[in-house]
């Protein structure tokens, strides 16, 4: 009986990262090379500066973020200060996973990762919503 609820721990940042990397590896060949150029960061919550900039009061309201210049807007004259990055925020993802109760954690992490990656490809939230009807 060593696998009681008391013995279980929440997935850590490394486990969330592994799920996101598995989602990236499963991408179609046409998207994978560009996806591999995007850095991945997993943090418990978005930094206060990001929350303030986005005018988000509750850190649980942000599960992921693309920080960079979308591919259609990139120029060879750009001098990037940092790599394009997808941020995944562990605690909001886990909170949604528990609240839903009807989806595998890997599927939720893949959804958030691919949603943010779509912004890297220049897709708007409306474009993504037409393809990924996640909320249905």
What average pLDDT is seen over the chain? 87
- Tens of pLDDT, residue by residue over 47-94, are 999 999 999 999 999 999 999 888 788 777 767 678 899 999 999 999
| Domain residue limits at 22 | 11-69+82-131
Residue 43 lies in a domain: yes
Residue 5 lies in a domain: no
Lowest mean per-residue pLDDT among 35-49, 65-79, 120-134 = 120-134
Residue 2 lies in a domain: no
Sheet holding 64-67, edge to edge: 39-43, 85-89, 64-67
CATH assignment of the domain containing 93: 3.30.2010.20
Res. 31 pLDDT band, cuts 50 70 90: confident
Structure tokens at 119: 């912004």
CA-CA distance, 124 to 129, in Å (whole number)? 9
**pLDDT for residue 1:** 41
- Total count of domains within the chain: 1
Residue 98 lies in a domain: yes
CA-CA distance, 16 to 85, in Å (whole number)? 15
**pLDDT for residue 11:** 93
Residue 26 lies in a domain: yes
Instruction: State the CB neighbour count (10 A cutoff) for residue 120.
Output: 22
């Amino acid at each position: 009986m060593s696998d009681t609820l008391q013995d279980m721990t929440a997935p850590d940042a490394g486990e969330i990262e592994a799920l996101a990397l598995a989602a990236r590896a499963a991408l179609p060949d046409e998207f994978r090379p560009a996806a591999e150029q995007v850095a991945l960061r997993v943090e418990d919550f978005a930094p206060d500066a990001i929350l303030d900039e986005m005018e988000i009061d509750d850190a649980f309201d942000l599960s992921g973020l693309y920080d960079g210049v979308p591919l259609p807007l990139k120029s060879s004259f750009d001098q990037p200060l940092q790599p394009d990055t997808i941020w995944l925020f562990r605690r909001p993802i886990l909170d949604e996973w528990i609240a839903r109760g009807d989806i595998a954690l890997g599927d939720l992490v893949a959804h958030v990762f691919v949603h943010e990656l779509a912004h890297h490809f220049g897709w708007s939230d409306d474009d993504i919503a037409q393809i990924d009807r996640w909320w249905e």
